[in-house]
């Protein structure tokens, strides 16, 4: 497993950081790749090494890694990246090597949600702190005693709510009538399932819209292109292409252009820079939802840093949802790209987010909520993954007590006071002003 140290220049651009820091196990320019076993990590003296364990050559994860490294750098730490390439056996093998590299904290995304328990237990047994992105299993507790407090939380997003909002924007643009094709991600995946729920909820509000085809793309733009190309001959009058992320939408655009289809309207989700660029040039692209996964990288870096420096988190801070900005005009796309694009300075100041550094004056430069998954995602309500409570299941005592005492509202009220909105210029140029987080509560669904 190759290992990459972070660069030391504080003012290097995110594009140059990507160039020098490497993706997918490449060494930094001028430094050799470390051997798989027993290698010394390239860290600054006296700092904790934080590892970003994601997938290489995926734009969203590349932006996450740039932000993660810059955040750790601002906190005077050392950060590295390694890719498991979506192969869980490779991920398991790589994490076994983290202790010998001096890794003290890991930020991960795992392709298989079911792998989360095993993966986290290995880290916990090695006394390595873990922050996870998006893998949220029904009735799974990050604060389970078997993790010895080292699983500091899971960060997700309002996947269903953002999909609901951008789909409504799309269908309203098309006067609420016509044929639609859905291009999803990996069948059964957490975010895919949630986004499908939101899309279907929105479509149900437009009786004149008919879903005529569906394909699963595994978030692969090339697969999205080929799947849509195969569907278009049977549906030449398709009016809406609902892509469940921006990469899939780019694949869809390639298929539409190849078929000389100039009329179908398209949405994406995620707010990736390449898609924001295209939004400014192609009128058929109606909207995207910018969850800004890069912020999740910053949040993970800060929380790992704070934990390693003795900060004690509230028991309910194990399920965290971050907001999505709705980008539904070319002008809003341009503004968001201006402040979050690869050449822009890092938008979120990790030092101001750190409780270790700021005490009670820490801030949140992106709206976040502590969530109760049983309030919508799981359980008996009509949510995205209505999985009944297993017989004999009980939340860890501290979590259950805080939940029963209504402390989730207290924590969220405090976090809302700490929120400093850096997206005001984007919202000013968008038609949809509010973010996705809390949409279903606002419309009375939960």
Please give the average pLDDT of every successive group of 10 residues along the chain, which has 446 residues: 34 29 27 30 60 90 93 97 95 98 96 92 98 89 95 93 97 98 90 92 97 95 97 98 96 98 96 94 97 94 98 96 97 96 93 98 97 76 75 92 95 98 97 94 83
Give the three-class secondary structure for 363. Answer: coil
Instruction: Name, in order, each residue with C-beta under 8 angstroms of 307's C-beta and a sequence gap of 6 or more.
Output: 105, 129, 152, 313
The pLDDT score that the predictor gives to residue 380 is 63
Domain range annotation of the chain: 14-157+292-322+368-418, 159-290+427-442
Q: What is the pLDDT of residue 9?
A: 27
CA-CA distance, 332 to 427, in Å (whole number)?
7
Give the right CATH number for 159-290+427-442 from 3.50.50.60, 3.40.640.10, 3.40.50.300, 3.40.50.2300: 3.40.50.2300
Residue from 32, 34, 126, 21 nearest 66 by CA: 21
Q: pLDDT value at position 427?
A: 97
CA distance 66 to 297: 8
Q: Is the domain covering 14-157+292-322+368-418 a CATH 3.40.225.10 domain? A: no
Contact 297, 71 (CB under 8 A): yes
pLDDT of res. 381:
64
- CB-based burial, 76-108: b 16+ in 10 Å, e otherwise: ebbbbbbbbebeeeebeebbebbebbbbbbbbb
C-alpha 229/C-alpha 181 separation (Å) is 12
Distance from CA of residue 353 to its chain's centroid? 18
The per-residue pLDDT for 191 is 84
Burial 137-146 (b: 16+ CB within 10 A, else e): bbebbbbbee
Domains 14-157+292-322+368-418 and 159-290+427-442 agree in fold: yes
What distance in Å separates the CA atoms of residue 147 and residue 6, rounded to the nearest whole number?
28
Distance CA 24, CA 31 (A): 15
């Amino acid at each position: 497993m190759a290992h990459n140290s972070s660069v030391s220049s504080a003012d290097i651009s995110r594009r140059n950081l990507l160039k020098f820091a490497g993706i997918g196990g490449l060494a930094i320019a001028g430094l050799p790749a470390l051997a798989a076993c027993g290698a010394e990590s390239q860290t600054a003296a006296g700092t904790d090494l934080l590892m970003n364990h994601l997938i290489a050559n995926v734009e969203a994860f590349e932006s996450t890694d740039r932000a993660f490294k810059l955040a750790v750098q601002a906190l005077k730490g050392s950060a590295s990246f390694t890719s498991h390439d979506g192969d869980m056996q490779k991920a398991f093998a790589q994490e076994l090597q983290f202790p010998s590299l001096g890794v003290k904290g890991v930020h991960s995304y795992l392709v298989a949600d079911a792998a989360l328990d095993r993966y986290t237990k290995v880290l916990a047994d090695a006394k390595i702190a873990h922050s996870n992105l998006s893998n949220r299993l029904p009735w799974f507790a990050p604060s389970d005693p078997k993790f010895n407090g080292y699983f500091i939380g899971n960060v997700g997003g309002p996947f269903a709510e953002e999909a609901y909002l951008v789909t409504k924007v799309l269908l309203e643009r098309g006067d609420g009538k016509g044929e639609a094709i859905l291009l999803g991600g990996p069948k059964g995946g957490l975010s895919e399932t949630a986004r499908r729920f939101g899309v279907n909820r929105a479509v149900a509000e437009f009786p004149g819209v008919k879903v005529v085809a569906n394909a699963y793309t595994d978030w692969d733009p090339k697969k999205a292109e080929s799947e849509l190309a195969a569907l278009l001959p049977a549906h030449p009058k398709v009016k809406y292409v609902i892509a469940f992320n921006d990469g899939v939408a780019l694949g869809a655009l390639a298929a539409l252009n190849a078929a000389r289809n100039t009329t179908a309207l398209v949405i994406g989700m995620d707010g990736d820079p390449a898609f924001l660029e295209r939004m400014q040039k192609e009128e058929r692209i109606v909207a995207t939802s910018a969850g800004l996964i890069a912020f999740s990288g910053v949040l993970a870096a800060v929380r790992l840093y704070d934990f390693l420096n003795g900060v004690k988190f509230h028991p309910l801070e194990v399920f965290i949802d971050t907001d999505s900005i709705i980008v539904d005009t070319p002008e809003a796309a341009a503004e968001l790209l201006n402040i979050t694009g690869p050449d822009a300075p890092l938008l979120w100041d990790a030092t101001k987010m750190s409780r270790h550094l700021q005490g009670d004056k820490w801030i949140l430069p992106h709206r976040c909520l502590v969530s109760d998954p049983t309030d919508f995602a799981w359980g008996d309500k009509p949510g995205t993954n209505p999985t009944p409570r297993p017989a004999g299941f009980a939340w860890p005592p501290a979590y259950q007590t805080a939940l029963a005492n209504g402390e989730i509202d207290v924590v969220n009220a405090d976090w809302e006071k700490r929120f400093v909105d850096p997206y005001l210029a984007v919202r000013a140029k968008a038609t949809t002003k509010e973010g996705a987080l809390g949409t279903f509560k606002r419309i009375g669904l939960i």
